[in-house]
Amino acid sequence: MKNKFIIILVYILIFFNSSLLSDDNDNVLKVGLLAPLSGEYKELGDSLLYSLQLALEEIDDRNVLIIPRDSGSNDKKKLNNAVKEIRSEGANIVIGPISNTDFNEVKKFNDMVFISLSNINPEFQNNIISIGISLESQMLALTKFIKKQKKNKTVILLPKNQYTDFIEKKLEKLNLKNYKIFKYNSDPKILTGEIEVLTNYSQRKRNLENRKKIFEDKEDEQSKRQLEKLEQKYTLGNVNFDSVIIIDFGSSLKSVLTSLVFTDVDQEKVLFTTVNQWFDESIFYENTVKSLYYPSVNYREFKKYKNNYFKIFDSFPSEITILAYDAIGLIYYTWKKNGKINSVNDFSFKGKIKGKIGTFSFNDKKIIQDLNIYKVENKQFIKF
């Protein structure tokens, strides 16, 4: 299998480089790619190359040429050399860097434009545009959805970690109404107790016990029926919120969901939502949750992309690679529309642009994705 991937990768590099040699006129769109083709994240770098090959085949324009260079992993010297090599080949537009930690390095090349796959900041930064699925895009989609469901008391749950302050600042900028923030410890042993406080679990347990005592010594049929109903409950009384947004993922997200169910939060009355999901099927086995909603890219297109990728390369792509797929489409659209690309200002479009992952809009030098809302139910992802 490895030999097959090596052959494919060599083919891609030869394809890209021979295309560069075969066409030297000015009517050529040359796009650089900064990818970790060596080091810890080499597999991701290779996957980005494969993704761009798929995109080029769909665009089907021999005047679009990719110049891939190894940016390494956390290697400033290699990153700078890669950018210089791309520029020397005549490209002033680059897909990458992947991480926002490299932004300070590429900002120095102010005669070039970088389309980053990072999701940290949707605003144009000097010569960088980030097209990752930002928290801003996800929160806008969720708040719109929650409002449509006529919920007006939302709790935003976020873990206490190195990103907490960063997320809180982003939430402040969104100027959300009727929302409160609850921060929790990711340690499951501590988390459950914190969720009990949030949901007023102890008091609701007492409410139930006190209510049951009223009917326990009565012999009439109505009292017996009331007691029988109460015996089926775990708590009595509602929580003081009608929806939650959990800004978490993976096992930590599952721990929060489990704690909410354990504290008897009524899922018929409280809407469970989250972010940062890429159709992770492991959530199917979180049996305690009846339904979970989240904003995401177009599932049909994402599935089609993954299947096509697997058919050609006999492996599944990293989620981030579909962003590279869309990046080349966005660059190509801009180039065809303007005839050239000189700066990030060339991407300040009016209206919206449809991509594989969804629809982009550009307002006030900020890129926002129009995301769909999906529901996890009965081991399926259902577009809501």
Higher per-residue pLDDT: 225 or 93: 93
**pLDDT > 70? residue 210:** yes
Cα–Cα dist 46/9, whole Å: 7
CB-side neighbour CA atoms (13 Å) of 283: 28
**pLDDT > 50? residue 309:** yes
**Is the peptide bond preceding residue 97 cis, with omega within 30 degrees of 0?**
yes
**pLDDT > 80? residue 323:** yes
Contact 153, 179 (CB under 8 A): no
Residue 145, number of CB atoms within 10 A of its CB: 20
**pLDDT > 70? residue 84:** yes
Domain boundaries, the chain: 2-132+299-369, 135-199+239-296
Pairs from 123-128 (Cβ < 8 Å, separation ≥ 24): 123/365, 123/366, 124/344, 124/347, 124/365, 124/366, 124/367, 126/344, 127/343, 127/344, 128/103, 128/344
Q: Which residue has the tokens 């090959």?
A: 53
In CATH terms, 135-199+239-296 corresponds, of 3.30.70.20, 3.40.50.300, 1.10.510.10, 3.40.50.2300, to 3.40.50.2300
Higher per-residue pLDDT: 290 or 110: 110
2-132+299-369 and 135-199+239-296: identical CATH topology: yes
pLDDT 10s digits, 134-192:
999 999 999 999 999 999 999 999 999 998 999 999 998 888 888 999 999 989 889 99
**Res 286: pLDDT:** 67
Whether this prediction's pTM lies above 0.95 is answered by: no
**pLDDT > 80? residue 1:** no
Question: In the CATH hierarchy, which fold is given to the domain comprising 2-132+299-369?
Answer: Rossmann fold (3.40.50)
